[in-house]
Structure formats: structure tokens, C-alpha cells
A and B are shown apart, each in its own frame.
Chain A
């Protein structure tokens, strides 16, 4: 059973406790300057976006069910763990940054200033989850806006909240179907594209790695058919070539006065 995080923006009061807890769990510095930054970065894995009318929206790694970053990583440094989090093995990473290009939510960030630069992002506190604990942001949240649980249970909970208060929410659980589903689910009272997300078409409903797999899965055909086709063409054209050469030699012999054959240009 995959774990997930549910963030209900209508319960969020913008206290930034999640940011603080995230920084301390990940050993990142957190001061007023970092607190004011309205974007994720190598030193800030989650932030609370301040929107008009006292509204808020969190940004963090969505931990896709079928993550693009893990699919594109040539060395499997990013992997989807069975508990749900998408985790990063810094000893494998060669720094190609394909994960950053591929991520539909622009989550992975890079240590551009470092000589040994790592990809940094939210890990959904994977070692806490393994111990059966909630993520540190869930733990720190004083209003219950962010909670941790099983994905199925949280989806049901989100549906229940919308059903019980249809005027308080937009009728959409962000993360239920986006890019094939994510392990971070979000509820909001305003449309998600007004809360820092892109329009729904950008994400699509299916997992993005399927696009790549359609091409990659043809490789065995290209290799096997390619060898047969090219080998066959060579066999045929070379045979024609040999026949031409033999006929040529026979002709020469019959003429008897021919010069010896040579290969000069």
C-alpha cells in the first residue's frame, strides 16, 4: 500500500511550520531570507505560496505514481520506493539533469554553485515513512492541512470533504489523475491554475513515461529486423558483385591478352 500526503489548502493558515520542519529534517538552513523565498530550490524543498485573500498553496515534490524523473534517470539514481516516495541515491547520480528537464512539476533542483553538485528535492521523509511515522511537514502542521496516510484512504477522505462541503472546494483532487496520479493530493477552494499550477492539459491524465516507452519498446524489433534486413541486403548485393567479378575474370581469361587485375584507384 502506497503512502501519500494530503494537503487541504482551505485549512492552511500560512504559518510556515511545514517549511521550518522540512528544513530541519533535511539539515537545511532556515532563516528570514529563506522563509521569504517563494520558490523551491536546492535549499528549500517545500514552500507555502501566498495567494490573494489569505489563501495559500503548498509546493513540494508530488511523488508521482509513475514518476518521469525515475523513468528518465540513466543510472536509476531516482527510484520510486514501494512506500510511495521518489528517492534519490547521490552515489549513482552523474549529474545529467535529465530529471529536471523531464519533471512535469519542475521539482528537482540543482546545486549549481557546487563542484560536486547534487539534485535536491523533497523525499517525502522516506525513512520516517519506513518507520511508520508521518512526514515531518504533516507532523508540524498545527491545523491538519497536511496529513500523511495511505493513498486510497486519503483519496476517499478528500472525496468526502468535497462532498460534504461542495461550495468550499473546487470539485477536483489535484494528483488523483494528473500525470497518471501522484502521492501528494491537494484540495483547494480556488482553481489550481490560479494557485501556482499550470493548466490541466499540461499535465495530462496518463503517466508521461508511457510516451517514451512506446518508442523504447520498439528497440528489440529494430535490432532483430535490422540485422536480418541489412545482412540480407549485403548477401544479395555482394553475390551480384561476386558474379560480376567472376564474369569479368572469365572474360579476361578468354581474351588471354588481358592485363592482371589490380586494385589501384
Chain B
């Protein structure tokens, strides 16, 4: 073993993890009051708003691409399924880790599995996330089996693959939308710019958009930092789908705001309206405008930029619902304490680090040779009909 080279990012990583570890000690020795800026007026903060809501959203690439490749047989996306699957698997594990910080009794996290309340959205989310994390583990397992050259388990997983993928898509549909349903119970509390009976639909559609945007983002990151280059035509094709979904989402969102007469709150200059406009600009208006320009749509660097913008835009959306939109009712302003922030940043950093490690040691960016052999499909039959020109 060689000693790892000291680089700027590695130093940052170690510092972030140390700070996170310190915050963890405070959390589990002194409780939530000492660790967070949460209060009786504002019981949910960044650990729910970012770690859980954004975390699950960012992991949506897993079900989106698994469905595209295995259900819709869009073979062209096969090379990017595994990075998306890895992100999803990692994402859900990290969401569960974050939940352990937020729950008052983290060791009772399994309670919803045996103590039922089918009227609770949270109960449903708990079940779906548990089942889907299991599905992801199974979907991800072939990568480990391939690495260890275990043929038999590989065959078993392959036999149940299609039902598994369908189950994964349905579980994701349920809980991605249910994270929006969580807020259906508070019509009097959530600001009208965000409260709508459409919340579950909006959450679901945006999750698909983010699944694709994250895949574009990851591909660019992997190319830059891990040196895996990818066929540009795949990304360009994905972008077209992303654009269609974004426009669809935009129409849904504006139609809903218009129908409820909520647009009057959009330009009042209030705290909510400013963050609403920021959200709409980054999640809908700017990305659609930019992606409609062919020169941008066909330029990988510009695409990376737009994908990042979309991810940030929808993070603002989730935080607006969980935090901004609830503040006026609560009558308090919430900003996370340093300990809350350090835990969140450490979890994100751990995500990046594990992704890097997995990409290095598991066949993530390879085509999965053993897997392909099992499928016994000639490569030519599976290739793209007509690759889109990658560059102008």
C-alpha cells in the first residue's frame, strides 16, 4: 500500500469529516436541543429538508435509468446505468444515516415496520424506503459478484431482474411522490406558493428530471476526476429527455399556481417571493431557455453547467417547502446551527468519497462483461440506431 498523496481536496475532506465526527459526538451525548436550531415552533430543519428530501430526490437516477434500460429497453443508456445505480444505493444509505441524527430515538427506526399506521404518509415512506433500499442492494449486488467472480448468485439475480426493476420503479414512484404528500396535512401552515394538492405529482416529476440531471452531472464529474470518458451521444440524448420533462414540469407548476391564484404572491418582494423566484429561475426558466439553444444542448461543458443549475434549482424547491414556506406561519426564522451543517456536509462528503472508492474498485464504468454474456444478446443488436452528433 502506498501512502495517499496529500492534495487540497483530501485535506478538505479530512477536516470536514473531523468536524462531522465532533458534531456527531455532541448530537449523541447532548441531544437535539444542543445540536440544532430546531424548536417547538420549528421542529423540522435541514436534516429533513436537505438530507432526506433532497437526498431521496438526488437518488432518483437509479429507478429512472433502470426503467429506461430494462423496461423500455433503451440499450443506449446501458453504460450509465451503473453510475446511476451506485448514486441511488449510496443516496438511500446516506438518507438513512441522516435520519439517525434527526430521530429522537434513532434505534427505533424500525418501529414503522411492526407498528402500523396506514393513514400516515411517513409510515408509507418508511416502508417504501426500506423495501427500495433492499431492491437497490439486490440490483447493485451483481457488481460485487462480478468483481468476486461469483457466477451462481449472478445468475440468480439476473433471473429475477425484471420483476426487481419493476418493483423498484413502483416503490420509487410511491415514495418520491409521498415526500410531497407529507405536506398535504398542513394547508394552513405551508405558504400558498408551495402548498397544493399537486405536491405529490410535482415531487415525482421533478424527481425524474433530477434523476437525469444527476446522471449528466455525474458523468461529467467522473470524466473530470476519475478519468472515465463516456460516449457524448448518450448525454446529448439524455438532455433531450430532460428538456421535455422540465417543460412538462414547468407547465404543471405554472398551471397549478395560476389555478390557485397563487401567482399574486410571486412578485411581492417578500422573503418567500424572492426564494420562490430563485427556485423557478434555476429549476425551470433558465434551464429550459438554455437547453432550447442547440449549441448549449450539444456542448458537454455547458450541459454540465445546466445540469448543476437544475440540481440546485430543485434543491431550493425542496428547501423552500421544508423551510422557507413554513417560517411565516411559525413566526420564527430558521437557520441551521453549525453542528447541523457539519453533519450534512460530512454526509455529502462521505457520499463523494464512497462513490470515488466504488468507482475505483467495482466495475461501475465498465460494461459489465459477465452480465452481458449472461444476457446473450449480440452487441450490435443492442447499439444505438443512429448516434446523435456529439459536437457541433
Question: A residues engaging B (CB < 8 A)?
Answer: 41-42, 68, 70-77, 92-98, 100-102, 104, 106, 109-110, 112-118, 198, 201-204, 208-209, 211-216, 219, 222-223, 226-227, 230-231, 233-234, 237-238, 240-241, 244-245, 248-249, 261-265
Contacts and interface: CB of A to CB of B under 8 A. Distances in A.
B197 interface: yes
B33 A244 contact: no
Contacts of A262: 378-379
Nearest first, the 4 closest Cβ-Cβ pairs linking A and B are A95-B104, A112-B33, A263-B372, A265-B367
B70 A234 contact: yes
Nearest to B167: A227
A34 B34 CA distance: 22
A90 to B, nearest CB: 10
B50 to A, nearest CB: 16
Interface stretch (B119-127, B278-286, B288-296): B119-127
Contact of B43 (A101, A204, A212, A234): A101
A109 B39 CA distance: 9
A211 B185 contact: yes
Contacts of B173: 222, 226
Contacts of A204: 187-188
Nearest to A245: B381
Interface in B372-391: 372-373, 375-382
B111 A94 contact: yes
B187 A208 contact: yes
Q: Which of B30, B105, B108, B126 has the most CB of A within 10 A?
A: B105
B55 to A, nearest CB: 16
Nearest to B182: A98
Given A109-B40, A112-B33, A240 B73 contact: yes
Given A74-B117, A94-B103, A106-B41, A230 B166 contact: yes
Given A241-B377, A248-B381, A264 B369 contact: yes
A72 B70 contact: no
Contact of B123 (A75, A238, A248): A75
Nearest to B163: A231
Contact of A71 (B34, B102, B185): B185
A212 B191 CA distance: 17
A214 B197 contact: yes
A248 B31 contact: no
15 contacts: A74-B126, A96-B102, A102-B185, A104-B186, A116-B105, A117-B31, A117-B32, A198-B188, A204-B188, A208-B187, A212-B181, A230-B169, A231-B166, A233-B71, A263-B375
A110 B188 CA distance: 21
A73 B32 contact: no
A231 B163 CA distance: 8
A77 B111 CA distance: 10
B115 A76 contact: yes
Contacts of B75: 241
A54 to B, nearest CB: 26
A101 to B, nearest CB: 6
